[in-house]
């Protein structure tokens, strides 16, 4: 990680939800879960974008768009996701495994030839090259899991296999949070990658969820 602090004080942000002295009609007690989730979306988006601009980059051009009901902030210059967020919409649809296997066309996710020459790697795009060199440790992870209602394409990123598959203590904690989001509709959730260089591969991931008014749970996972 660089010396710049990319952390976000989520507790400080959520404390603004019910200012001291607010009456029930104006405070958290008089608001719905939808109101709280709108508050989180608005307040956190500003914080996520501000923190992203402090990360290593070669210029920033941010756009926001919707995909399968979730919101994504994307940097057009670095071609990487800044954050993905929204409310869960569990699905029983089968994943499009064939399409997912084609994520980053030409990549297998596992190094195809351990003796591949430097010249051969140079012919690959930077995304393909990452999986050729480091695919044994990384999966095609989802910022928002399929069972929560997440899609493919921009929603996919290189994620540590032990975290993505729940094969470590932290991985099991990560998967437990995903399962809570996939258990029912209307759970606010987000994935916020932290980049320590100008690549598209996060060094960490903030994962958060809110199941009730005035409560936001956030954990940071290594990548």
pLDDT digits (tens, 9 = 90+) for 11-36: 999 999 975 445 444 555 567 999 99
Indicate whether 13 belongs to any domain: no
Domain presence at residue 132: no
- Record the pTM: 0.80
Q: Which of 4-18, 54-68, 98-112, 178-192 comes out lowest in average pLDDT?
A: 98-112
- Residue 7: inside a domain: no
Query: What range does the domain containing 44 cover?
Result: 34-102+139-222
Residue 54 forms part of a structural domain: yes
Q: What is the CATH number of the domain that holds 175?
A: 3.40.570.10
Q: Residue 140: what pLDDT?
A: 87
How many domains is the chain partitioned into structurally?
1
Tell me, yes or no, whether 121 lies in a domain. no
Instruction: Report in angstroms the alpha-carbon separations of 166 from 86, 92, 216.
Output: 23, 21, 22
Residues found in the chain: 223
Please report, rounded to a whole number, the percentage of residues in the chain having pLDDT higher than 90.
Answer: 64
Sheet strands side by side (includes 80-87): 62-67, 70-75, 80-87, 188-194, 204-212, 215-222
Looking at per-residue confidence, does 107 or 137 come out higher? 137
pLDDT score recorded for residue 123: 66
Residue 163, in any domain of the structure = yes
**Is 66 part of any domain?**
yes
Residue 182 lies in a domain: yes
If you average pLDDT over residues 163-191, what whole number do you get?
A: 97
Residue with the two structure tokens 């979730």: 70
């Amino acid at each position: 990680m660089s010396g710049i602090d990319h952390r976000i004080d989520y507790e400080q942000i959520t404390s603004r939800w019910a200012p001291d002295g607010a009456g029930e009609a104006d405070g958290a007690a008089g608001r719905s879960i939808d109101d709280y989730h709108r508050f989180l979306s608005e307040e956190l988006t500003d914080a996520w974008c501000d923190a992203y601009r402090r990360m290593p980059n070669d210029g920033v051009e941010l756009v926001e768009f919707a995909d399968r009901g979730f919101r994504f902030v994307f940097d057009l210059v670095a071609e990487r996701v800044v954050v993905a967020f929204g409310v869960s919409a569990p699905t029983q649809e089968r994943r499009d495994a064939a399409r997912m296997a084609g994520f980053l066309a030409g990549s297998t996710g596992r190094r195809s030839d351990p003796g591949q020459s430097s010249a051969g790697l140079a012919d690959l795009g930077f995304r393909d090259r990452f999986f050729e060199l480091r695919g044994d440790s990384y999966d095609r992870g989802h910022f928002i899991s399929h069972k929560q209602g997440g899609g493919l394409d921009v929603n996919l990123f290189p994620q540590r296999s032990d975290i993505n598959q729940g094969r470590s203590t932290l991985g099991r904690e990560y998967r437990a949070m995903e399962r809570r989001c996939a258990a029912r509709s209307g759970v606010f959730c987000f994935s916020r990658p932290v980049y320590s260089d100008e690549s598209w591969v996060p060094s960490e991931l903030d994962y958060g969820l809110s199941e009730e008014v005035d409560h936001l749970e956030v954990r940071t996972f290594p990548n």
